[in-house]
Amino acid sequence: MSLDDRVRPSSGPLPYALGAFGVALLLAGSYWGLFRAPRETFMGDVQRIMYIHVPTAWNAMLALTFAFGCALLSLWRGGWKWDARLEGALEVGVVLSALLCMQGSIWAKPTWGVWWDWDPRLTTTAVLVFAFAGILALRRLVDDPVRRATWSAVATIIAFVDVPIVYFSVKWWNSLHQLQSSPATVSSAFHLPLRVNAFGILFLMCGLIALRSRGAALRLRGELAPPPVSVVSPLGTAAALMALQAPAAEMTGQIRGGWEFVWAAYAVSAAILIGYSVSVHLRYRQERARQVREGTEAGA
């Protein structure tokens, strides 16, 4: 990676198309999951949170795995597009992981009786959020684009390798507190909404990463090309939302979850996904406007 390499941000409506298709799938899948799928034998209606929770989990890990790939390519192949994609994947991964923690917490309350119960997956996700949000903070605090690219790539590789280690250490540590684990077998009646929502979030996520990367590439072009402009676009507040330990409630042993938790989980997910999508879009437009302004001032 050198200051000489060119940055070519993409253009066109593809991210928006992907996002729209993803939202459509999500609406269909959620409708099915909320209103048409049967109730689960033990958990009742609360189990419907699974239809938004599990796809979010798959895609959060996918986003962070993609970030890992971008980091490797950024370090060893070079090229600014991988750094731009890294930034997009990191931010989307953090947002999805934070959302995952919130959904998991809302699901935990009626099923386990407390907001947080050291489930290995939930705990690992919380650690993940902190680790990758830290890398976003690192990117924010380093002005030199070359260094920023190299360092965040290194940090992403290290954090990603850490994920399985954290998972297993928490799993064994937690075995002292809980035997419950997520389902290994899921009745086929539940498969359809799960799959539809999974693809829904997948397409939405791809659209978000593409658009966010485009914004990052635009900003990079502004940073690298003359006239020198010191531009660090605000990353927004999307990555900062985390719902961690609310005070643990007394376990009465008789908490029966109801639709209020299901609605809460879906509402939170919709709010975060919509809010984040809007934020990415607005920041992209801001970046575009800035480029146009500066391009005009510098002359042809």
Partner 1 sequence: MSELMAAVRKDLLLQWRTRAQAVAVFVFGASALLLFSFASGPAAELLRSQAGGFLWLGLMLCSTLALADSFQSETEQHALEALLLLPASARALYYGKALANWLQLALLGVALVPMMVVLYDAGTTNVVALVGVILLGSAGLSAPGTLYAGMTAQTRARQTLLPLLLFPLVVPVLVSAVKATSLVLSGDPMGQAGGWASLLLAFDAIYWSLCGLLFPKVVEE
Partner 2 sequence: MSDTVQDVSPPAGTRANRRGRWFAIGAVAVAAVSLGVITAGGIGKNLVYYWGPTELHAAGDKAVGATIRLGGLVAPGSLKRPAAGSGLEFDVIDRPGARVHVRSTGVPPQMFRENIGVVVEGTMNRAGHFDSNRLMVSHSNEYRAPGDDPRVDVKALMKTTSGLEPETKKP
Q: Judged by CB, which is closer to partner 2: 137, or 161?
A: 161
Instruction: Choose among partner 2, partner 1, none what residue 134 binds, the Cβ cut-off being 5 to 8 Å by kind.
Output: partner 1
Query: Amino acid identity of 58?
Result: W
Other Cβ atoms within 10 Å of 2 Cβ, number: 8
Q: How far is CA 38 from CA 47, 85, 193, in A?
A: 10, 40, 11
Which positions ≥6 away from 189 have C-beta within 8 Å?
A: 37, 38
Q: Judged by CB, which is closer to partner 1: 127, or 235?
A: 127
CB 71 within 8 A of CB 88: no
Q: Figure out which of the listed residues 80, 160, 190, 276 binds partner 2, where binding follows CB under 8 A.
A: 190
The piece of 15-23, 165-173, 240-248, 276-284 that touches partner 2 (CB under 8 A) is: 165-173
Instruction: Choose among partner 1, partner 2, none what residue 245 binds, the Cβ cut-off being 5 to 8 Å by kind.
Output: none
Instruction: Choose among partner 1, partner 2, none what residue 181 binds, the Cβ cut-off being 5 to 8 Å by kind.
Output: partner 2
Query: Amino acid identity of 155?
Result: A
Which positions ≥6 away from 92 have C-beta within 8 Å?
A: 63, 205, 208, 209, 212, 276
Q: Judged by CB, which is closer to partner 1: 161, or 289?
A: 161
Residue with tokens 């391009």: 295
Query: Amino acid identity of 108?
Result: A
Instruction: Choose among partner 2, partner 1, none what residue 58 binds, the Cβ cut-off being 5 to 8 Å by kind.
Output: partner 2
- Applying CB under 8 A, does 245 fall inside the site for partner 2? no
Instruction: Choose among partner 1, partner 2, none what residue 147 binds, the Cβ cut-off being 5 to 8 Å by kind.
Output: partner 1
Site size toward partner 2 (CB under 8 A) is 45
DSSP 46: G
Which positions ≥6 away from 75 have C-beta within 8 Å?
A: 150, 153, 154, 157
Q: Which two tokens stand for residue 167?
A: 């998972």
Q: Where along the sequence are the contacts to partner 1 (CB under 8 A)?
A: 75, 127-128, 130-131, 134-135, 137-138, 141-142, 147, 150-151, 153-155, 157-159, 161-162, 165-166, 168-170, 172-173
Q: Judged by CB, which is closer to partner 2: 51, or 132?
A: 51
- What is the smallest separation between the CB atom of 146 and partner 1, expressed in angstroms? 9
- Applying CB under 8 A, does 168 fall inside the site for partner 2? yes
**C-alpha angle 71-77-83 in degrees, rounded to nearest 5:** 40
How many angstroms separate the CA atoms of 250 and 240, rounded?
Answer: 29
- Applying CB under 8 A, does 178 fall inside the site for partner 2? yes
Which residues in this chain contact partner 2 in the complex, by CB under 8 A? 2-4, 38-43, 47, 50, 54, 57-58, 111-113, 121, 161, 164-165, 168, 171-172, 175-187, 189-190, 250-255
